[in-house]
Structure 1
Amino acid sequence: MLDDPPSVLILGIGNLLWADEGFGTRTVEALHRSHTFADNVRLMDGGTLGFYLIQHVQQADVLLVFDAVDYGLEPGTLHCVVGADVPRFMGAKKMSLHQTGFQEVLMTAELLGGMPRHLALVGVQPHTLEDFGGSLTPPVRAQIEPAIAAGLQWLEGLGVTATRRDIPLGDDERLSPPALELTPYERGRPAPEAASRQGDPRVLADPAVRFDPKPLPDAWQRLSVDVDNRRPL
């Protein structure tokens, strides 16, 4: 139990465009739709922001993370990790760049003396990742509500409580743009026959299509970029 109202960050991370990779984002969206919290609690869609999340992590006393994590378990298995083990699991089997980035965010926060006092990861073993534009697979989607329940139970143990909403959220109050919410996202997704997820065989198998790279002009090879101001030098 925490004495003073702590700064609490509930973070969903992942990439909506790669099937089960979007589990963390979908879970925090669902939590935001279904529950309210006190003013000291912030819900955030962290997406694949990586190091851009560092200031948010440093400001938090309590950090709850939802994510798809390769635990090496059966697809759809929910597993919770708390405390010092969280950074290790975030990078044990890297599935995407966002996991590497967030593991480094936690390590950097610790080096800078801004590590949250209480840390938990609620993760699910993904079933499918290589499905560009895909949505959550059934075994992973089925774990959204159990993940929310597990996260709320952990928070309650710290004295952080949630209240179920009586009135649904309006579109302008949601974490993500309306077009990226789960239902409209799936409704607007083309069928695999119209838009292949893993490379269109109509193109890849066409003998008229060939990969013929050209050397870069000499001027391009000398081009450098100022990454801070995003302009050529």
Structure 2
Amino acid sequence: MKDTIIIGVGNMLFKDEGIGIYASEYIKQNYQFGEGLEIIDGGTLGFKLMAYFQEYKNVIILDTVSIDDEVGSIFRLPSDVLLGLGKYRKTAHEVEIVEMLEIVSVLDSYANVTIIGVVPQDIQSVEIGLTKLMEEKFPLFIETSLKEIESLGFKLTKRSDISVEDIVKSLIGSYNGSHLTRIPNEEDFTHEVNL
């Protein structure tokens, strides 16, 4: 059985919904860590993530959580708590994560799964990037995630300081509409092409 995997989950097309993916990539690009720790972008893989629940001793999922609390609140939700949170399941991947846990819990061996989740401000707007409030909470989200990783015996050393904005741009080429300043809009084309 492999040791530990960090999985960033979410959908980058819906504003704060991408924070788990951004956080996992931020840690991967800014920190050095030893063997036994793997970091991946789980995106919207859904039930395909179940293989990780069976292959690893520890699975840490970075994600948003639909908990009725103050926006920006950060939660640590271990497997046993997740299995008891019926009303927690509001988004598609939240439903899938809990259902996967329920399925693997009947097996002899499965991962110790923990979600580090943040209550989002906006997961409905179709825009790549974070709201201002999530940008402010991002360092604490990272710090909480790093503490969870370190609690499993891993030592992380900061090697660079790439911003979340630059991380997102490296993944998808835009951040909060920044691509609009690079790509001309239709009205910018004032000449006609004669065929």
Q: 1:53 to 1:19 in 2, by over 3 A?
A: same
What amino acid does structure 1 have at the position aligned with 2:170? P
Could you tell me whether the CA contact under 8 Å between 2:20 and 2:63 is conserved in 1? yes
What amino acid does structure 1 have at the position aligned with 2:68? G
Could you tell me whether the CA contact under 8 Å between 1:19 and 1:130 is conserved in 2? yes
- Alignment-derived partner of residue 92 in structure 2: 97
Which structure carries more relative contact order (alpha carbon 8 Å, separation 6+)?
2
Q: 1:189 to 1:18 in 2, by over 3 A?
A: farther
What amino acid does structure 2 have at the position aligned with 1:178? S
Structure 2: tracts of 5 or more residues without a match? 186-195
Provide the C-alpha distance between the structure 1 equivalents of 2:64 and 2:10, rounded to a whole number of angstroms. 7
Could you tell me whether the CA contact under 8 Å between 2:47 and 2:96 is conserved in 1? yes
* Shift, 1:24, TM fit: 0.8
1:138 aligned onto 2:105 = no
- Alignment-derived partner of residue 225 in structure 1: none
Superposition pairs of residues 1-233 of structure 1, within 5 angstroms: 7-89=3-85, 92-116=87-111, 118-166=112-160, 178-180=170-172, 184-186=174-176, 187-188=178-179
Provide the C-alpha distance between the structure 1 equivalents of 2:180 and 2:22, rounded to a whole number of angstroms. 16
Structure 1 runs of 4+ with >3 Å offset: 175-179
Measured on the aligned residues, the alpha-carbon RMSD in Å equals 2.7
Out of 45-54 and 158-167, give the one that drifted further: 158-167
* Shift, 1:133, TM fit: 2.6
Provide the C-alpha distance between the structure 2 equivalents of 1:123 and 1:179, rounded to a whole number of angstroms. 21
Could you tell me whether the CA contact under 8 Å between 1:25 and 1:45 is conserved in 2? yes
TM-score normalised according to structure 2 size:
0.78
TM-score normalised according to structure 1 size:
0.67
Provide the C-alpha distance between the structure 2 equivalents of 1:156 and 1:179, rounded to a whole number of angstroms. 26
What amino acid does structure 2 have at the position aligned with 1:15? N
Higher strand proportion (structure 1 or 2): 2
Provide the C-alpha distance between the structure 2 equivalents of 1:189 and 1:78, rounded to a whole number of angstroms. 32
Structure 1: tracts of 5 or more residues without a match? 169-174, 195-233
Aligned-residue identity in percent: 24
* Shift, 1:41, TM fit: 0.6
Larger Rg: 1
Q: 1:96 to 1:189 in 2, by over 3 A?
A: farther
* Shift, 1:177, TM fit: 8.8
